[in-house]
């Protein structure tokens, strides 16, 4: 790469369900070297596991393949590489579907697809427990054996290393299972600039760059509080791009002629998003110190971040285990003026008495009044005076499924039996869902074996 | 001194990791950051949230970004996928914190009046 060259990475998806058109806007809207796409929220892996159990060919983010069918030709033509954790619990299945998409785009023999796997510990779980990896819950200190029977998925968050390996082997698109989210952007930087894994300051910069783009438009004006009313054209919001220099300093920006806004406020809100101790932001690759970041507003929609320092990473990978923890359901009813809140409150009391009378075994009952306290809970101290309407939302949880199913039938009858001027019961009908709980744990890095495969698209 | 809601001094974003939530609170201007450090203490935040947050609260300072980061343990009724709340993932704990009242000098109160709230002449079609 020529000296002084910058690498541009765009964050095109913040979660599975994000703006489907955003990656296309990033690819077509201006210069870009890499597109990173984050599909995996915590809950996503257990959903994909369930789909995979029902149909062995499923278990990855199919949206990604649909998207690539559309943008693959443009990416190939412009030399834009793609890194996505769309593989879910079946990265090889995702790669196979992707190869089919590449073939139909006329790219047989012209594109290389990389697959990173080895994060999935589900098949090895009993062996690992037997070998003495207790996978103790980081928050409660309880060993995993106590919920072993209910475990639905278990994945280690891999680092940037295997993605770097895939890029070095010539991959144009890299599909992964569970990796640390910022690694999806850090890996291309480590690969392009040849940064060493003990160059902790540059690795911290790479992880910061990834952190800034991993939630999509949340750093370019989406969900931004600061003067939100003046942020232009969020309907065509420009997803964030980092322009990274060989030193690790980078500018956060977005393509011209897009909506949204990149400024100090939008970028800082994202930097502090979902972090703990800012002096030790832990990833598999580095411990980054966010208190060392220097932020400079360079101009309209250009924010420069530099100076970040890093330290060696922990010896363990974080493991996310999902396990079944009972059943839940939630339903709503809309009460209208006059005395909307009084009616909703009377309905709540009526429901609670019904639950007792029916003998439902409910571990928790939560009642909220949308329009008053569903967002801020007890901090919404003063009820709205003479509210035009209030929506009652009742949710329950239990390890006894028939009780939750019973609850699900209890709300609709209130339109005929309860307080008056009520509607909206059809839209708010309760549905029984399994509760998937999270078990955060650590595992020795030596116990996990990341695997990389890179292959040319076959004809 | 005058008591005003924090919403005039700072903006914020919150999110979840398991049953732990964090709220990043960011001063609108550099000179307001020391006021946040002084007034938005762990004790005040604990008092503000009351029973809504069950566990420990930690505060971290990021003077380089004019920001404080609060880590709230046991804030999500069991965690994002277990909680029965509408806000199971703690997304609006940020705006809930900005309700908190803080004491500021009169001149500061005057300068930040209206900050953080939608202007009267605004319309949803703008900009």
Q: List per-residue pLDDT tens for chain A, 459 residues long.
A: 555 689 999 999 999 999 999 999 999 999 999 999 999 988 788 889 889 989 999 999 999 999 999 999 999 999 999 999 999 999 999 999 999 999 999 999 999 999 999 999 999 999 999 999 999 999 889 999 999 999 999 999 999 999 999 999 999 999 999 999 999 999 999 999 999 999 999 999 999 999 999 999 999 999 999 999 999 999 999 999 999 999 999 999 999 999 999 999 999 999 999 999 999 999 999 999 999 999 999 999 999 999 999 999 999 999 999 999 999 999 999 999 999 999 999 999 999 999 999 999 999 999 999 999 999 999 998 898 999 999 999 999 999 999 999 999 999 999 999 999 999 887 777 899 999 999 999 999 999 999 999 999 999
**This prediction's pTM:** 0.96
Q: Is B65 near chain A, with CB under 8 Å?
A: yes
Interface test with B, best of A50, A153, A216, A268 (most B CBs within 10 A): A268
Q: Give dist(CA B17, CA B71) in Å, integer.
A: 10
Q: Which stretch of DSSP H or E encloses residue A366?
A: strand A364-370
Q: Nearest residue of B to residue A439 by CA position?
A: B18
Looking up tokens 């076959």 gives A458
pLDDT tens for A242-271 read 999 999 999 999 999 999 999 999 999 999
Q: Which stretch of DSSP H or E encloses residue A113?
A: strand A112-117
Looking up tokens 């914190």 gives B97
Q: Is B11 in Cβ contact with A269 (below 8 Å)? A: yes
Q: Is A276 in Cβ contact with B71 (below 8 Å)? A: yes
Q: Is A396 in Cβ contact with B84 (below 8 Å)? A: yes
Nearest by Cα to A26 from A83, A71, A85? A71
pLDDT at A101 (0 to 100) = 96
Q: Is A268 in Cβ contact with B24 (below 8 Å)? A: yes
Phi, psi of A165 (to 5 degrees): -60, -45
Share of chain B above pLDDT 70, in %: 99
Chain B residues within 8 A of A271 when measuring between CB atoms: 24, 65, 67
Show Cβ contacts of residue B15 under 8 Å, excluding neighbours closer than 6 positions: A273, A274, B21, B22, B89, B90, B91
Q: Is A258 strand, coil or helix?
A: coil
Cis peptide before A443 (omega within 30 of 0): no
pLDDT tens for A275-294 read 999 999 999 999 999 999 99
Chain B residues within 8 A of A43 when measuring between CB atoms: 80-81
pLDDT at A4 (0 to 100) = 65
Q: Is B20 in Cβ contact with A276 (below 8 Å)? A: yes
- What beta strand segments (E) does A209-353 contain? 241-244, 250-253, 281-282, 287-289, 294-299, 302-306, 309-311, 316-336
Q: Is A232 in Cβ contact with B127 (below 8 Å)? A: yes
Q: Is B82 near chain A, with CB under 8 Å?
A: yes
A86-A190-A454 Cα angle (round to 5): 50
Question: Min CA distance, A375 vs chain B (Å)?
Answer: 6
Q: Nearest residue of B to residue A330 by CA position?
A: B84
Q: Give dist(CA A425, CA A430) in Å, integer.
A: 9
* Mean pLDDT of the B83-96 span: 95
Cis peptide before B127 (omega within 30 of 0): yes
- Contacts across the A-B interface (CB distance below 8 Å): 141
Q: Which of B18, B24, B87 shows the shortest C-beta gap to A273? A: B24
Q: Is A291 in Cβ contact with B13 (below 8 Å)? A: no
Q: Is B20 in Cβ contact with A139 (below 8 Å)? A: yes
Tell me which residues of chain B, numbers 35 to 64, contact chain A at a CB-CB cutoff of 8 Å. 48-52, 58, 60-64
């Amino acid at each position: 790469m020529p000296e002084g060259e910058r690498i541009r990475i765009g964050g095109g998806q913040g979660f599975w369900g994000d703006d489907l058109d955003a990656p296309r806007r990033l690819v077509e809207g201006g210069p870009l070297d890499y597109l990173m796409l984050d599909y995996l929220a915590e809950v996503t892996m257990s959903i994909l596991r369930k789909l995979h159990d029902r149909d062995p060919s499923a278990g990855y983010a199919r949206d990604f393949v649909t998207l690539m069918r559309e943008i693959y030709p443009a990416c190939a033509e412009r030399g834009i590489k793609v890194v996505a954790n769309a593989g879910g619990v079946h990265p090889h299945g995702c790669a196979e579907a992707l190869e089919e998409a590449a073939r139909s785009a006329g790219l047989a023999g012209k594109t290389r697809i990389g697959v990173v796997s080895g994060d999935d510990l589900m098949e090895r779980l009993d062996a690992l427990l037997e070998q003495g990896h207790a996978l103790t819950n980081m928050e409660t200190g309880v060993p995993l054996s106590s919920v072993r029977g209910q475990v639905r998925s278990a994945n280690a968050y891999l680092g940037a290393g295997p993605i770097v390996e895939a890029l070095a082997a010539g991959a144009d698109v890299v599909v992964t299972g569970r990796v640390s989210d910022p690694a999806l952007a850090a890996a291309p930087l480590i690969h392009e600039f040849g940064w060493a894994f003990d160059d902790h300051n540059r690795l911290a910069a790479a992880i910061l760059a990834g952190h800034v783009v991993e939630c999509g438009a949340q750093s370019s004006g989406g969900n931004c509080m600061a003067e939100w009313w003046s942020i232009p054209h969020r309907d065509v919001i420009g997803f964030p791009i980092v322009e990274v220099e060989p030193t690790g300093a980078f500018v956060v920006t977005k393509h011209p002629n897009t909506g949204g806004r990149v400024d100090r406020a939008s970028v800082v809100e994202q930097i502090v998003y979902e972090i703990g101790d800012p002096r030790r932001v832990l990833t598999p690759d580095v411990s980054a110190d966010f208190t060392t970041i220097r932020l400079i507003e360079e101009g309209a929609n250009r924010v420069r971040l530099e100076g970040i320092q890093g330290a060696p990473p922990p010896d363990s990978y974080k493991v996310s285990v999902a396990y079944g923890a009972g059943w839940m359901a939630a339903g709503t009813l809309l009460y209208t003026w006059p005395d909307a809140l009084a009616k909703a409150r009377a309905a709540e009391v009526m429901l609670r008495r019904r639950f007792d009378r029916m003998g439902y075994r409910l571990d928790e009952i939560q009642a909220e009044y949308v329009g008053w306290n569903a967002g801020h809970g007890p901090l919404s101290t003063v009820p709205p005076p003479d509210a035009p309407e209030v929506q009652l939302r009742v949710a329950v949880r239990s390890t006894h499924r028939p009780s939750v199913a019973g609850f699900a039938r209890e709300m609709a009858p209130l339109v005929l039996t309860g307080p008056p001027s009520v509607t909206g019961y059809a839209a708010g009908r309760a549905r029984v869902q399994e509760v998937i709980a999270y078990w955060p744990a650590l595992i020795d890095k030596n116990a996990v074996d990341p695997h990389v495969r890179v292959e040319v698209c076959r004809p | 001194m005058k008591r005003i809601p924090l919403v005039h001094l700072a903006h914020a974003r919150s999110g979840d990791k398991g049953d732990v939530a964090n709220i990043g609170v960011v001063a609108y201007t550099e000179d307001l950051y020391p006021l946040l450090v002084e007034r938005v203490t762990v004790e005040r935040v604990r008092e503000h949230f009351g029973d809504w947050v069950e566990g420990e609260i930690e505060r971290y300072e990021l003077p380089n970004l004019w920001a404080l980061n609060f880590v709230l343990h046991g804030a999500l009724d069991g965690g994002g996928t277990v909680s029965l709340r509408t806000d199971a993932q703690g997304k609006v704990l940020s705006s809930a914190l900005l309700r908190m009242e803080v004491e500021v000098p009169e001149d500061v109160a005057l300068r930040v009046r209206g900050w953080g709230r939608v202007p009267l002449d605004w319309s949803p079609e703008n900009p």
